[in-house]
Amino acid sequence: MELLIFYPLAGLCVLFALGVVVSNSPINSAISLIGMMLGLAGIFVLQQAHFIAILQIIIYAGAIMVLFMFVIMLLNLKGKGEDEKWQSRDKNILLNVLGGLLATGVLYKIIDIINAGDFNSPAMPPESFGTVREVGTILFTEFVLPFEVASILLLVAMIGAVVLAKSKVD
Amino acid sequence: MDFEMVPLTHYLFLSATLFVIGVTGVLVKRNAIVVFMSIEIMLNAVNISLIAFDRYMNLHDGQVFSFMVMCVAAAEVSVGLAIIISLFRNKPTTNLDEFNIMKS
């Protein structure tokens, strides 16, 4: 029954991820990425990680993708010579084919390794698995130091972004 | 509610596929913004396998770690896009091949 939900969601995620890589215009890539994020939120719900699914939608599809869209619109690369501006390097086809071959080889190897592992069917997790209460309890007891360090990381990133993007007029 | 659960390997396959797609994007695309998006795909792929193992082992540590991954992704995107904007001021393009000023 779960598989019936899993396969369409997983297929959708993979298709949208391919769309990010394949499409030529960055706006299309960004919209595909939003689709992939929403599909992944569905997968997280299927894994009963409700808190992470909500965070996925709020942080990724909400904040990060808005930032991406904002920068794409701000840079406004659609002006003159759109074709040459968005074009990849000259030997594009060769590079694409080589990259695709490499990726397929790596994927084949990883799937080989996963298949070699012996994973029996997991036990049914308890009802409270993945709720905000459970995740929050462990976040504020066992992982309270990494949590505070993450807040410092975000502060540093904020200051760094302001300093980097500040105009050089002053 | 006797749902038959999805095997762990399926989640790992999905995670590996998405990760490889992200790697391909980083290797093949030359637009800095799309390269950033591919990095986001890779981070998300890692989140899937973290949470899959979490559910398999019936722990919550993996969810905390995927929370941290999201923090790092947000920090990385904000700083990275600021770098792209300041690069764009020097040279109006986002093609990574154009930026070779560090090459001696």
Per-residue pLDDT of chain A (170 residues; tens, 9 = 90+): 788 889 999 999 999 999 998 888 888 999 999 999 999 999 999 888 888 999 999 998 889 999 999 888 888 765 444 555 445 455 567 877 888 888 889 888 888 888 888 777 666 777 777 788 888 899 899 999 999 999 999 999 999 999 988 876 55
Nearest-by-Cβ selection for A103 from B23, B30, B60: B23
Looking at the domain that runs over B11-95, which CATH code has it been given?
1.10.287.3510
Q: Which residues of A touch B84 (CB under 8 A)?
A: 71, 75
The distance of B1 to chain A (nearest Cα, Å) reads: 10
Please state, in angstroms and rounded to a whole number, the distance separating the CA atoms of residues A25 and B34.
9
* Cβ neighbours, 10 Å, residue B35: 19
Q: Would you say A30 and A72 are in contact if contact means Cβ atoms under 8 Å apart?
A: yes
Q: Which residue has the tokens 């942080």?
A: A59
Whole-model pTM?
Answer: 0.87
Q: Is B101 exposed, middle or buried (0-12, 13-18, 19+ CB in 10 A)?
A: exposed
Q: In terms of CA atoms, which chain B residue is nearest residue A4?
A: B6
What is the number of helices (H) and of strands (E) in chain B? 3, 0
Q: Is B41 on the interface with A (CB under 8 A)?
A: yes
CB pair distance less than 8 Å for A64 and B73: yes
Q: Would you say B20 and A103 are in contact if contact means Cβ atoms under 8 Å apart?
A: yes
Q: Half-sphere exposure of residue A142, counting CA atoms within 13 Å on the CB side?
A: 12
| Residue B20 tokens, joined | 């490889």
> Which residues make beta-bridge pairs with A80?
none
Q: Give tens-digit pLDDT for B56-101.
A: 888 888 899 999 999 999 999 999 999 888 888 887 777 777 777 7
Q: Which residues of B touch A34 (CB under 8 A)?
A: none
| Residue A148 tokens, joined | 């505070």
CA angle, residues A38, A104, A101, in degrees to nearest 5: 125
Please state, in angstroms and rounded to a whole number, the distance separating the CA atoms of residues B64 and A52.
9
What is the number of helices (H) and of strands (E) in chain A? 8, 0
Q: Which of B21, B46, B58, B97 to mutate to test the interface with A (most CBs of A within 10 A)?
A: B21
CB pair distance less than 8 Å for A44 and B70: no
Q: What is the DSSP letter of B55?
A: H
Please state, in angstroms and rounded to a whole number, the distance separating the CA atoms of residues B9 and B56.
11
CB pair distance less than 8 Å for B61 and A138: yes
Please state, in angstroms and rounded to a whole number, the distance separating the CA atoms of residues B42 and A43.
16
* Cβ neighbours, 10 Å, residue A158: 14
CB pair distance less than 8 Å for B58 and A126: yes
Q: Which residues of A touch B51 (CB under 8 A)?
A: 44, 47, 49, 52
Please state, in angstroms and rounded to a whole number, the distance separating the CA atoms of residues A160 and B78.
9
Q: Which residues of B touch A129 (CB under 8 A)?
A: 55, 58, 60
**Alpha-helix residue ranges (DSSP H) falling in A56-143:** 65-75, 82-86, 92-116, 132-141
pLDDT given for residue B1 in this prediction: 45
SS3 A51: helix
DSSP A4-27: HHHHHHHHHHHHHHHHHHH-SSHH
Q: Would you say B9 and A119 are in contact if contact means Cβ atoms under 8 Å apart?
A: yes
Name residues 83-102 of chain B within 8 A of A (Cβ).
83-86, 88-89, 93-95, 97
